[in-house]
Amino acid sequence: MKITFHGLRQSDSLAAWIREWAAKLDSVYPRIQRCDVAVEAPHSRQGPAYRVRIDLTVPGNELVVSRDPGPDGAHRDPYVAVRDSFRAARRQLEDHVRKNFRGEQKAHVRPAHGRVTYLDAEGEWGLIDAEDGRQVYFHRNSVVGGVDRVGLGDEVRFAEEVGEKGPQATTVATIGGNGRHEVGRAPD
């Protein structure tokens, strides 16, 4: 975390306040990679009105919150300006999580289908070619009944989430008694 002050002296108590608010963001999304905060006190005739900018780096995205002083004078107190900025950052982070992670999980009405196209030699992980043409990673711990239940070419159903490097199956189960059925084929 990087905290900078522009136009005002560095304040240990304000920096501690910023760290407290930043720690609260971890409860929304614990994979925040970086949080930079800049507090600026521009000069004006009515006295200082503080501006706060928060740059959050999360896997695959950057979120920026910039709070300029409003006409009501509420941001004449740097602690209020920081609080309001972190509340806005929290809302933006919640929207990011809802759109990019939770929303995709809820969008699947039925489990996705595909075929196992790769298994590593040690049986630790593999790849599924999904019906929609995507390739989905799975770890041995996500295979229902153990990794010995799935083989190369088996048709599977799976639930997924967004992993660090793309789609990742959270559960993988073979379809049918032996796991070999045609994907997308209607019964005769």
Instruction: Map out the domains of the chain as residue ranges.
Output: 2-107, 112-174
The CA R_g of the chain, rounded to the nearest whole Å, is 24
Strands of the sheet containing 2-6, edge to edge, are 2-6, 34-40, 51-58, 61-67
CATH (one of 3.30.360.10, 3.30.950.10, 2.40.50.140, 3.50.50.60) for 112-174: 2.40.50.140
What's the whole-model pTM score? Answer: 0.52
pLDDT at 44: 61
pLDDT at 176: 64
**73 closest CA partner among 46, 92, 98:** 46
Q: Helix 78-97 and helix 12-25: axis angle, to 10°?
A: 20
71 vs 97, more confident: 97
Is the model's pLDDT at 76 over the cut of 80? no
The CATH superfamily assigned to 2-107 is Ribosome hibernation promotion factor-like (3.30.160.100)
Give residue for tokens 């919150």.
65
Three-state secondary structure call for residue 73: coil
Rounded CA-CA distance 139/181 in Å is: 22
State the amino acid at position 5 in one-letter form.
F
**79 closest CA partner among 15, 7, 10, 22:** 15
pLDDT at 43: 67
| 28-42, 75-89, 95-109, 150-164, range with the lowest pLDDT | 95-109
pLDDT at 184: 46
61 vs 46, more confident: 61
172 vs 108, 138, 166, CA distance in Å?
15, 8, 16
**Tokens read off for 168:** 């990742």
pLDDT tens sequence across 11-38: 999 999 999 999 999 888 888 999 999 9
pLDDT at 106: 42
pLDDT at 47: 64
